[in-house]
Amino acid sequence: MKRSTKLLSLACLSALLTTAARGENWPHWRGPNFNGSAAEKGLPDIFSKTDNVKWMAELPGPSAATPIIWGDAVFISSTDEKTKTLRAMAFDRKSGKQLWNNEVAPGFGRDDSSNFASPSPTTDGAVVYFLYGTGELAAFDFKGTPVWTRNLEKDYGPFAYQWTYGASPTLFEGKLYVQVLNRDEPVHGRGRKDGRGESYLLALDPKTGTELWRNIRPSDAAAESQEAYSTPIPFTQGGLTEILISGGDCLTGHDAKTGKELWRWGSWNPTKIGHWRLVPSPVVSEHGALVCAPKGSPIFTVKHGLKGKLDDSALAWTSSDRDVSSDVCTPLYYQGRLYVLNGEKKLLARVDPATGKPDWIGDLVARPKIECSPTGADGKIYFQNFKGEVMIVAADKEFKLLRTIPMGDPTDDRLRAAISVAAGNLFIRTGTKLYCIGK
């Protein structure tokens, strides 16, 4: 199946939404611009497990964490299947040599769909920060020396999630942001027993791990719909820097300096369905802040610059095509277009960020499910499915699936890690391997 519509408008020049791209680095789960894109050129689109492989490193266990790259270092979170521990690891970007492998805490996972090493690390070029589903948060310098550590569950109360906590930390303008959006009462025995659980946005001093502030983020969602696995996303507009939070049946914008909630919108779940947990992180374009409602619902874009509790008049647009939807994958904003990956239907849509209308919707001709968020660079879109089949799509006016390349092992059946790009290379994480791919 291939469907397309006439290109509705020329691509708009992107507004300066975040800090400038940090050259050849990939310092955050969603890259240098917090939207899945990078300015890299010369990336390969022909490779295999042996061709155009600069190096391959063995990993001690599975994880959905994305590789983070700064300079000549690659950082990755991992489990260790043999020792049942959570690892913080570093590799040399040029050779793949393991630089260090630190045990952060005991643990592996609590369900058969994920593990405690799902959050991706982040770095400022001097220190790298690792967060795990146990609440363990640890900082190391580039030599692997511990800088500080703390446990969020011990400090603020146990998490109350149906599954396993998976939000990644965000480092931005001198603060380390972590969000915890969970239930206000225990689930499966997990959660606070001494009172109501709290959802919150936390800001820490990256140098010490000391709390700068913690802002409670309330929600009137029901049961599992209070839970979110999304990551806080920053952007700057008109002199104000906001942190966007999605989950609990709403999207909120917070003052980056104080955590104060500036605005709130949410009406995709008016009947308070109780199993609509939210996974995709927010995405920003010059036309507004985008949020993906779960379970085949539309995506919505809230206009910039508004305040208070907003109604639907605050929306720039709502997607009307049922295939333009994402239950898990965070959309990509790249070269003035949104790319929305519908992992359940295995469809990729290129969307006009001004109107929400698709330029095209392409069939990926894939059987395994896709829960990997797409990466955009060098005029191409990269992502992988559960089996580790890497798909490469042209970021162009017409849909074109350039290649599908099997990179996973026979036992891989639930791969989610996004593909990182830096220094002219792709970094692909499978169940037990980390590949550096380059021409």
All structural domains of the chain, each given as residue ranges with its CATH number in brackets, are 15-48+60-334 (2.40.128.630)
pLDDT of residue 132 exceeding 60, the answer is yes
What single letter denotes the amino acid at residue 199?
S
pLDDT of residue 36 exceeding 90, the answer is yes
Distances (CA, A) of 296 to 145, 168, 288, 320, 437: 45, 24, 21, 12, 34
Rounded Cα distance, 171 and 168, in Å: 10
Distances (CA, A) of 105 to 116, 119, 134, 137, 296: 10, 14, 9, 10, 37
CB of 324 closer than 8 Å to CB of 341: no
List, for residues 402-431, the tens digit of each pLDDT value.
Answer: 999 999 999 999 999 999 999 999 999 999
Res 10: pLDDT: 25
What is the phi/psi pair of residue 163, to 5°? -110, -120
List, for residues 191-236, the tens digit of each pLDDT value.
Answer: 998 889 999 999 999 999 999 999 999 999 999 999 999 999 999 9
Rounded Cα distance, 70 and 26, in Å: 6
Helix (H, G, I), strand (E, B) or coil at 154: helix
List, for residues 321-360, the tens digit of each pLDDT value.
Answer: 999 999 999 999 999 999 999 999 999 999 999 999 999 9
**pTM of the complete model beyond 0.85:** yes
Rounded Cα distance, 179 and 128, in Å: 18
Classify burial at 141, counting beta carbons within 10 Å of its beta carbon; exposed 0-12, middle 13-18, buried 19 or more.
Answer: exposed
Angle ∠(87,88,89) on CA atoms, nearest 5: 110
